[in-house]
Amino acid sequence: MTEAPSAPFHIGLTAEIVIEAAVELTQESTLFSWSLRDLAGRLGVAPSVIYHHVGGKDLLCRRVVEFVFAMFNPPPAELEWKAWFRQLLYSIGPLALRYRGVAKWLLMHGPMTTTTLPALDAGIAALTRAGFAQHTGFAYSALVNSALLTISMGDDRLQHEDDGPRDHATMMKEFEQVAANSPGAQTITEAVIRPFAEGKQEAAEARAEYYQFVVETTIAGLANRLASGFSDSSNDRV
């Protein structure tokens, strides 16, 4: 593919315009699927112009994440920690689903961007007030990472759904044959594999239900650990 011609001095092109175009590509596909050449083609410039205005793909991904989370406001600071994290995670979920790949980027790089730091600071403060003490960092990571991982897995499944039609009946028949003599495999097939494999609306509902399960279970587990004073620590395990 030849590079798109660019106007002299790229009149009117700014870093903000480049980043907005990258955000649009992310919303149309995923953060990790478009290339610098794709972005340059959309803007009608050479890839070298993108480097000049913003940088390479790694830096562009960071700017997209910052742009996406600039749309998000952390929950009110006065909320009790469980309510605070429910509001955070149930707000982040739909946002990350609209911009696939953002959750994976945060898992890989952490919440160290200008627009994610406010939520990080507020979340740490909420857990500190609740009495998590030296476990505060672990608690925050468990809550946020479990949610982001669930979203990231959903992103990957959606990419497979978008690849084109699949022989669903044949695939499910193979699953059922494998699971025939395994109660565990039968349970997983019916609860997870079948609804996710259906794709479209059924898969979307399954993803939402599983996301809620992960969020609520993580919160409940941490609440139980906090109530017990973390007495069931690794030192007490056999």
Quick: pLDDT tens for 57-68. Answer: 999 999 999 999
CB atoms within 10 A of CB 73: 10
pLDDT tens-digit profile of 120-167? 999 999 999 999 999 999 999 999 999 999 999 877 766 555 544 455
Mean pLDDT of the chain: 85
Percent of the chain having pLDDT more than 90? Answer: 64
Give the separation between CA 119 and CA 125, rounded to whole angstroms: 10
Residue 77 or residue 196, greater confidence: 77
Asked if residues 127 and 136 have their Cβ atoms less than 8 Å apart, the reply is: yes
Give the separation between CA 117 and CA 143, rounded to whole angstroms: 16
Asked if residues 51 and 45 have their Cβ atoms less than 8 Å apart, the reply is: no
Reply yes or no on whether the pLDDT at 4 is more than 50.
no
Encoding tokens for residue 153?
């897995």
CA 61 to chain centre: 13
Question: Which residue is it, tokens 């699953």?
Answer: 175
Asked if residues 52 and 65 have their Cβ atoms less than 8 Å apart, the reply is: no
Which amino acid, 160? H
Residue 7 or residue 92, greater confidence: 92
pLDDT band at 172 (very low <50, low <70, confident <90, very high): low
pLDDT band at 25 (very low <50, low <70, confident <90, very high): very high
CB atoms within 10 A of CB 233: 11
Give the separation between CA 205 and CA 196, rounded to whole angstroms: 9
Question: Which residue is it, tokens 């992310």?
Answer: 26
DSSP letter assigned to residue 190: I
Reply yes or no on whether the pLDDT at 32 is more than 70.
yes
